[in-house]
Amino acid sequence: MATAQVYLVTGGCGFIGKKIVELLSQQDYIKEVRVFDSGAREEEKIIPATTHVTVMKGDIRDYNLLLAAMRGVHVVIHTAAIVDYRNTVPFWEMKAVNVGGTENVLRACCVLNIPYVVYTSSIAAVGPNTLCEPMRRGNEDTKYSGEVELPYGKTKAMAEKLVFEANGKKLQKSMASLVKMSMGIEHKYLYNHKTWSGNGAWMHVLAARHLQLKPDLLAGQVYYCYDDTPRRGFLVTHQLLSSVDPSIRLGSRIPYWKMWLIIHLHRIIKALLYPFWKPQPFLNLPLLNTIVTTFSYETDKAFRHFGYKPLFTWQESKQRTVQWLKAAAGNVSCPHLHQKEN
């Protein structure tokens, strides 16, 4: 394996992508990290960086531009996607980016003979399904079937299928490794970027490295991303917010039927007032069904296959995030507030 590696990260200016680029740029076996992102700016800088970082602005749907950016690359980490749980983006547009963009990445890899791809998916590609069947303490081998509930999840499942089908295609070496992120990476914008996102990004870095070292073991595999963040999201949020304001208390639960009624009333009002008023819903039925469906997993597969351990503990994460929230609440300048979301 060559010691002077060139990596390309699609969506490298986004929430998880930016942290991946930062960590890659600190690895001594990498000579260049390329960032391909539709929201990239010429002045974009990855800090700190000991490796050369090249930032390229481009749409993942533009195959020719993507192909040019991928020339001379050894490894591709594909994180670029439209993340939309509230159905604010038309399905055709989300599919064009999430599925069509993935198809372009894989096609370019075959043309350029790039043998290693790590793909960022989502637990939403697994479920919950439209029947709201639960999954309790599952892992990467747990069987779960049925049509995915969320439109976003549908596009990620379609892209996953492309990645699996591309594994080994037209190449001497195995081509693709699938890193499946837990549902929550897209919801954790509240949390400090150097905590949970750092752990998720670190798993990408390790998976990409060991995919080259142990392709027979890693190629075509699924890895759920994990750390020691408490599993109950509302309790995590309460711990964080109450650390900023001790007066915050847990409230009572809202019955499902009330939320169902609010969602449908909003749809009726929106239809009556369209096109004069176009309010964005804070919740929709697929997302509500996802929230109320038990969907949990436990895994150590990443540790067993390539020695993954979280870089940050929950206590470190909590402390950093509380500082970030206090700075935001006090309108104090904080470097973490200016990081770009994807």
Residues forming the active site: 152
Give the containing element (helix H, strand E) for 286.
helix 285-292
What torsion, rounded to 10 degrees, do the Cα atoms 329, 332, 338, 342 define? 0
Neighbouring CB atoms inside 10 A of 58's CB total: 18
Give SS3 for 99. Answer: helix
Measured CA to CA, the distance from residue 98 to residue 90 in angstroms comes to: 12
13: left (phi over 0), alpha (psi -120 to 50) or beta: alpha
| Phi, psi of 264, rounded to the nearest 5 degrees | -75, -35
Q: Which of 158, 151, 142, 152 is nearest to 295 (CA)?
A: 142
Specify whether the CB–CB gap between 32 and 7 falls below 8 A.
yes
Cis amide linkage into residue 48, ω under 30° from 0? yes
Closest CA to 187 of 309, 94, 85: 85
3-state secondary structure of 293: coil
Side-chain-facing half-sphere of 190: CA atoms under 13 Å: 14
Q: Measuring CA to CA, how many Å separate 193 from each of 38, 88, 316?
A: 20, 24, 12
